[in-house]
């Protein structure tokens, strides 16, 4: 089992950058595909980005491609989401998730086994 805790959210203006972090407990962090999802008020939780177990492969939602970068440091049991050129529509609660299956890419919410409590990102103009 793995426990996840996100950090780094906040209130920023359009065009600004933020870096989210997700710290994982446990000794088997590198056996999980890691993903970021987000949920805006009144909307379903949606996929944002995923990184493979080794960190060599990444996958992004079209809405964030070219602006967001997912990465991981297996030595630190941490996954990151660098968010640049933020837009108002990026406002949401951002969740880190871990998927223990070998499926790649892992895009569906139901495919992830463990979730963090989330961190809020608010982008204003």
Report how far residue 65's alpha carbon sits from residue 62's, in angstroms, rounded to the nearest whole number.
Answer: 5
CB of 86 closer than 8 Å to CB of 18: yes
pLDDT score, position 27: 79
Mean pLDDT over residues 102-122, rounded? 94
What residues contact 30, with CB distance under 8 A and at least 6 apart? 53, 54, 74
Q: Strand 46-51 and strand 119-124: pairing?
A: unpaired
Quote the pLDDT of residue 5. Answer: 98
Average pLDDT score over the chain: 96
Q: Residue 49: its pLDDT value, please? A: 98
* Averaged pLDDT, 75-97: 98
> pLDDT confidence of 12, banded at 50, 70, 90?
very high
pLDDT tens digits, residue range 38-56? 999 999 999 999 999 999 9
User: What confidence score (pLDDT) does residue 102 get?
Assistant: 87
Contact 60, 48 (CB under 8 A): yes
Residue 85 has pLDDT above 90, yes or no: yes
CA distances from 107 to 18, 52, 118 (A): 23, 12, 18
Neighbours of 20 (CB within 10 A): 23
Query: Would the pLDDT of 25 be above 90?
Result: yes
Residue 1 in this model has a pLDDT that exceeds 90: no
């Amino acid at each position: 089992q793995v426990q996840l805790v996100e950090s780094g959210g906040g209130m920023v203006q359009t065009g600004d950058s933020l870096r989210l972090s997700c710290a994982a407990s446990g000794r088997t962090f590198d056996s999980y595909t890691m993903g970021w999802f987000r949920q805006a008020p009144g909307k379903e939780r949606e996929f944002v980005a995923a990184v493979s177990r080794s960190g060599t492969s990444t996958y992004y939602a079209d809405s964030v491609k070219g602006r967001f970068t997912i990465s991981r440091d297996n030595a630190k049991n941490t996954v990151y989401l660098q968010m640049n050129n933020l837009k108002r529509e990026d406002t949401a609660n951002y969740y880190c998730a871990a998927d223990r299956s070998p499926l790649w890419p892992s895009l569906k919410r139901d495919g992830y086994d463990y979730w963090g409590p989330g961190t809020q990102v608010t982008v204003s103009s």
